[in-house]
Amino acid sequence: MIERATVAVLCRPIRLLRKTLIAGTLLSTIVMIVTASAQSDYPNRPVQLIVPYGAGGIADVGMRILADQLTGWLKQQFVVENRPGAGGIVAAKAAASAAPDGYTVLMTGNNNAISASLFKSLPYNILTDFASTSTTSFFDLLIVTRAGSPLQSVEDISLQSRRSPACRSS
């Protein structure tokens, strides 16, 4: 059973996410409109938004909201294409392989930094093959435990891990 305090903690990030998505959408739109005005007929064909996660998750939903808003404002279709797999590598490779014409946009996050630290080589260079355009959203990441657990803080978790190495994930 979920306690009232737990529900409040779970709902707060959703409200924050909604506000962040709206702000991110507005910022992204301003950037794209300014760019579009500099290029008289951009976009003159559909724009592909590549999402490195499966359909139905929060990143997918956020990008679909953004795509819908951009479609309405710029009068050209923005299409979300989900390319999950390999910690975002599949999506990033697809975006890096696309023509650098502004018609393929990659939604990415810390997954590419993690991939760069895990693998000796990637089929792209996240620092040189991409140019950041805007932040569309922020996500809260939580560490939680069951109610009644003796682990009440990150310090408790760290101490328990040091005392009992078998508890650490391998």
Span between the terminal Cα atoms of the chain, in Å: 30
Q: Considering the domain boundaries, does residue 160 fall inside one?
A: no
Q: Considering the domain boundaries, does residue 163 fall inside one?
A: no
Q: Which of 22, 104, 14 is nearest to 66 (CA)?
A: 22
Q: Considering the domain boundaries, does residue 161 fall inside one?
A: no
CATH of the domain at 42: 3.40.190.150
Rg of the chain taking only CA atoms, in angstroms? 20
Q: How confident is the model at residue 144 (pLDDT cuts 50, 70, 90)?
A: confident
Amino acid at 113: A
Q: Considering the domain boundaries, does residue 134 fall inside one?
A: yes
Number of domains in the chain: 1
Q: Considering the domain boundaries, does residue 155 fall inside one?
A: no
Higher-confidence position of 19 and 151: 151
Q: Considering the domain boundaries, does residue 45 fall inside one?
A: yes
Q: pLDDT tens digits for 60-110?
A: 998 999 999 999 999 999 999 999 999 899 999 999 999 999 999 999 888
Q: pLDDT tens digits for 8-48?
A: 444 555 666 666 666 666 666 666 666 655 556 889 999 99
